[in-house]
Structure 1
Amino acid sequence: MKKRGMLLTVALVLIISLILVGCGGGGGATTDGGSGGGGGGTQELLFATGGTAGTYYPLGGAIASVWNENIEGVNVTIQPSGASVENLRLLDSRDADIVMAMNNIADDAWKGVGSFDGQVVQGFKAVGVVYPEIIQGVGLVEKGVLTIEDQAGKTVAGGPPGSGTAATTPHIFSAYGLADGDMTVVNDTFGDAVDKMKDGHLDAAWNVLGAPASAIVDLLTTKEIAFLEIKGDALTQLQADFPLVAPHVIPAGTYNFKGTDYPDIHTIALQAVLYVRDDMDEDTVYNLVKFMYEKNADITKSHATGSQILLENALNGITTDFHAGAIKYYEEKGMM
């Protein structure tokens, strides 16, 4: 009986130990007893991106594939989301491990202003710039929406809830003298907005996208659109209010309608930045940085925006703290 009791006690201790091991660790779940810093297991990381019709989601998938192919012991899974604002909250709540977000939205989160008014969100660290975030607004020519001012009295998609687009467009509209109530603003995803524009149920739409954006190219197969440019005095006012905003020109020929190229399109850009949980281990983040920049040619094979993932732009416009793993990589490259 004593021997049987001792065996039961040992078995109970082993079970409790296994449970405790399974509950431990941070910076992503692990399987096979592994940990974020190695040890033979697989570290499961969740990468929150954006809407499926935007740039974040497909580009995030291309980046994740490169990481999974090159970083031993790491498996990155992407998921769609409401983009920047939601993504940073997901990092802070530990419901995501990696995200893409606009640099101005991260700056707001760090300070507890804008979409984060009254709530400082700092549970994340910067990894590096992914690509320029180009604000693109389009209007249906058949509805008479040729400029930003023409949106008055129209129905406009200003960006989905929790996105950097939705946090930015009100300021753009204000710079052009459009106040709340001057138009009907809906919060469709850009994919849904494009579908509604095809059907004539929406007059204009905005999103933060790489160029050319596949959703806009798709819209141009059936509808003539005008690109709603941001320039002149309104741009000057916008830059005074938001110093992180920079003028951006989408080159002539990027888009065309029935074989006719659009000329240069004047708009603004911010930066799409990769952020991670602030408690992610240094080695993992080092490898995320390394392979995102050093394997950008492989990323480009899956998504054209990969060509814009350039090491020389990695630090541009980032005002929040960098992760130690990223700092280590940049120091090796003589950038910090």
Structure 2
Amino acid sequence: MKKRKFLMTTILMLVLSMLLAACGGGNEEGSSENDNEKSSGEKPKFMSILTGGTGGTYFPLGGSFANIVSDATGIDTNAETTGASAENMQSIKDNKGEIAFTQTDIASYATEGKLMFEGNAIDNIQAIGTLYPETIQIVTTEKSGIKTVEDLKGKKVSIGAPGSGTAANAEQILEVYGMKLEDIQKQDLSFDESVNGIKDGNIDAAFVTAGTPTAAVEELSATEKVVIVPVDADKADALIEKYPYYTKDEVPSGTYKLGSAVPTVAVQAMLVVKSDLSEDVVYDVTKAIFENLDQVTHAKAEQIKPENALNGVGIDVHPGAQKYFDEKGIKAAQ
């Protein structure tokens, strides 16, 4: 009887052990499936688009893009004001945003660990695509008497907010004119602060790297006779030879009430994303933006075209964005 009781107890323990093992195995298998789902791209509930100051072009465009992405994907998306390009790259690295505006030159510096990113390369960004030329505008007023880049010597000149790409542009343009930042009274102001400084007479001029027309400069032109200092053709050639991501550009006649077009140079604005966003999510974001540009009221929307989005990118394109461009047969210009 005791043997039978012991045998029954042993059998029950074995059965119980098998059941527990099966349950445990089932949990492990379920966990593996969830991990696979996550790695293939769990759809986030919320995304931030990092833009720039309210007086620039990134912020209004980012607001339109956020609305488009929210409507098309169901992901709650908003646009955040920031110090623009360089700050945005660091914020992506620090997981403070999912999508960001930047200049093509700054994105290259970030991934290569050069200039302001020396010793701090950003390894978790990939491109959605380029958007439009970012014109370098050296803004002043007629009453300042400044007509040439050389006239900036000794003057109070804003080179943009700390962390923006404008500072690098200012330094490189001054360089081809044989000047250094030490030759000006450097001010680190946002576009809005720069314009207010010019209005109030606290600064003499400002570098503004943004799509034209730029809201802050338009506001200035309402009360002052705006002057855009030209970048001479030979200096533009020298700049492009040393820094190939620049292109020749101009501020068109009529912009800011200018009587004639002003020659200058430009880099390109682009959108980047965190590289660990799933292919499906980035595909949906890319498609939503490039197929709903008619919903963007900013004038720059007219220059944003999917067929140009792979030109001058300079960093790796996210597989989700690449999938969209491949479907459309879009390739980078040779």
Q: Would you call these one fold, judging by a TM-score over 0.5?
A: yes
Which one of the candidate residues 69, 94, 97 is aligned to 2:71? 69
Query: Structure 1: which 5+ residue stretches go unaligned?
Result: 1-16
Distance 1:185 1:94 in 2: 31
Shift of 1:118: 2.3
User: Are 1:36 and 1:280, in contact at CA under 8 Å, matched by a contact in 2?
Assistant: yes
Once residues 249 and 62 of structure 2 are traced to their aligned partners in structure 1, the CA distance between those partners, rounded to angstroms, is 23
Q: Give the equivalent residue in structure 1 for 2:274.
A: 277
Distance 1:266 1:111 in 2: 30
Q: Residue 330 of structure 1 corresponds to which residue in structure 2?
A: 325
Query: 1:114-163: per-residue Cα shift (whole Å, max 9, x none)?
Result: 11112221211100112211111112221211111111111000111110
1:151 matched residue in structure 2: 152
Q: What SS does the aligned partner of 1:329 have?
A: helix
TM-score (norm 2): 0.85
Q: 2:259 maps to which residue?
A: 262
Contact 1:36 1:43 in 2 (8 A): no
Partner Cα separation in structure 1 for residue 273 and residue 182 of structure 2:
38
Deviations 1:152-187 (A, max 9, x none): 111000111110101221111111122232210100
CA shift for structure 1 position 37:
3.8
> Within 5 A, what are the aligned runs for 1:1-336?
37-38=42-43, 43-72=45-74, 74-256=75-257, 261-299=258-296, 301=297, 303-336=298-331
Shift in Å, 1:199:
1.1
SS at match of 2:110: helix
* Distance (Å, rounded) in 1 between the aligned partners of 2:182 and 2:42: 53
Give the conservation status (yes or no) of the 8 Å contact 1:48–1:99.
Answer: yes
SS of residue in 1 equivalent to 2:248? strand
Find the aligned partners of 1:144 and 1:176 in 2 and give their Cα distance.
Answer: 19
* TM-score normalised by length of structure 1: 0.84
Distance (whole Å) between structure 1 residues aligned to residue 136 and residue 259 of structure 2: 17
Other-structure match for 2:21: none
CA distance in 1, matches of 2:192, 2:181: 24
Please tell me the residue identity of whatever aligns with 2:274. Answer: R
The more displaced of 155-164 and 171-180 is: 171-180
Question: Hey, what's the Cα distance between the residues in 1 that align with 2:96 and 2:58?
Answer: 18
Give the 3-state SS of the residue equivalent to 2:182 in structure 1. coil
* Partner secondary structure for residue 211 of structure 1: coil
Structure 2: segments with no counterpart, 5+ residues: 1-26
Equivalenced residues, count:
297
| Contact 1:53–1:191, Cα closer than 8 Å, also in 2 | yes
Partner AA of 2:238 in structure 1: Q
Q: Deviations over 1:27-75 (max 9, x none)?
A: xxx9xxxx9545xxx6200111111111111110011111112223x11
CA distance in 2, matches of 1:180, 1:120: 25
Q: CA deviation at 1:255?
A: 2.6
Quick one: which amino acid aligns to residue 312 of structure 2? G
Q: In the aligned structure 2, how far is the partner of 1:304 from the partner of 1:36?
A: 34
- Distance in 1 (CA, whole Å) between partners of 2:318 and 2:157 is 38
CA contact (8 A) 2:230 2:264 kept: yes
- TM-aligned CA deviation for residue 113 of structure 1: 0.7
Residue identity (%) = 35
Alpha-carbon distance in 2 for matches of 1:180, 1:77: 36
Question: Given residue 94 of structure 1, which amino acid in structure 2 is its aligned partner?
Answer: N
For the structure 1 residues 136 and 186, does the alpha-carbon distance in structure 2 shift closer, same or farther, using more than 3 Å as the test?
A: same
Residues 230-287 of structure 1 deviation map (CA, whole Å, 9 limit, x = unaligned): 122211221122001000122222230xxxx421111111111100000001111001
Counterparts of 1:178 and 1:139 in 2: how far apart (Å)?
19
Helix, strand or coil for the counterpart of 2:244? coil
Would the aligned equivalents of 1:140 and 1:146 in 2 still touch at CA under 8 Å?
no
Deviations 1:262-319 (A, max 9, x none): 21111111111100000001111001111111100111x3x22122221111011111
- Partner of 1:270: helix, strand, or coil? strand
Structure 1 distance, partners of 2:80, 2:246, is 28
> What is the aligned-residue RMSD (CA, Å)?
2.0
The AA in structure 2 aligned to 1:110 is T
* Distance in 1 (alpha carbons) for counterparts of 2:254 and 2:143: 22
C-alpha separation in 2, matches of 1:262 and 1:255? 9
Cα pair 2:226 2:256 within 8 Å, conserved: no
